[in-house]
């Protein structure tokens, strides 16, 4: 998972994230610690983590769960959705998204900006930018949300 995560970052964020971060030899170890914590630490027990594989190799990963801020108004937050570039357009990303977020609940996510491919993917799946931005780890991010109406309305 960590190696795929790192490879996806290098494919996606070159020119958006500093090269020194993407080429850091400790990046795989840092991602291994991230995923180990996400999988075993009680603080993350409510998160859903799904992996996509092809021929025994990890090609994508997604993680969603309760929002960081409970008073945010969203039911879920998509924390991670990465797919190797060779798998873009194959449906892997959509399958991962569907596996970790409930289509009947409101969802929030942060996406690197600029990242036109990812932003178009999320728009295709009902998300829209609400105009909120932040800088995280030196990368500008745009907040995107998907609001589901109550079917009884």
Residue 60, strand partner residues = 52, 83
For residue 136, the model assigns a pLDDT of 86
- Domain 2-146 is of which CATH architecture? 3-Layer(aba) Sandwich (3.40)
Mode of pairing for the β-strands spanning 139-146 and 48-54: unpaired
Predicted confidence (pLDDT) per residue in 80-128, tens digit = 999 999 999 999 999 999 999 998 899 999 999 999 999 999 999 999 9
> What is the C-alpha separation between 58 and 84, in angstroms, rounded?
9
| Of residues 151 and 43, more confidently modeled | 43
> What is the C-alpha separation between 77 and 100, in angstroms, rounded?
10
Confidence of residue 56 (pLDDT cuts 50, 70, 90): very high
> What is the C-alpha separation between 60 and 45, in angstroms, rounded?
21
> What is the C-alpha separation between 134 and 110, in angstroms, rounded?
9
Domain ranges of the chain: 2-146
| Best CA proximity match to 85, nearest among 50, 51, 60 | 60
Predicted confidence (pLDDT) per residue in 8-47, tens digit = 999 998 988 889 989 999 999 999 999 999 999 998 999 9
Confidence of residue 148 (pLDDT cuts 50, 70, 90): confident
């Amino acid at each position: 998972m960590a190696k795929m995560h790192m490879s996806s970052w290098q494919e996606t964020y070159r020119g958006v994230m500093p090269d020194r971060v993407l080429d850091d030899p400790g990046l795989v170890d840092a991602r291994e610690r991230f995923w180990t914590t996400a999988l075993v630490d009680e603080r993350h027990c409510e998160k859903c983590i799904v992996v996509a594989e092809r021929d025994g190799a990890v090609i994508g990963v997604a993680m969603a769960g309760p929002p960081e801020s409970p008073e945010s108004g969203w039911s879920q937050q998509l924390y991670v959705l990465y797919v190797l570039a060779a798998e873009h357009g194959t449906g892997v990303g959509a399958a991962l998204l569907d596996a970790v977020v409930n289509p009947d609940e409101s969802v929030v996510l942060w996406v690197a900006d600029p990242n036109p491919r990812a932003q178009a993917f999320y728009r295709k799946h009902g998300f829209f930018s609400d105009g909120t931005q932040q800088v995280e780890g030196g990368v500008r991010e745009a907040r995107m949300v998907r609001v589901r109406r109550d079917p009884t309305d």
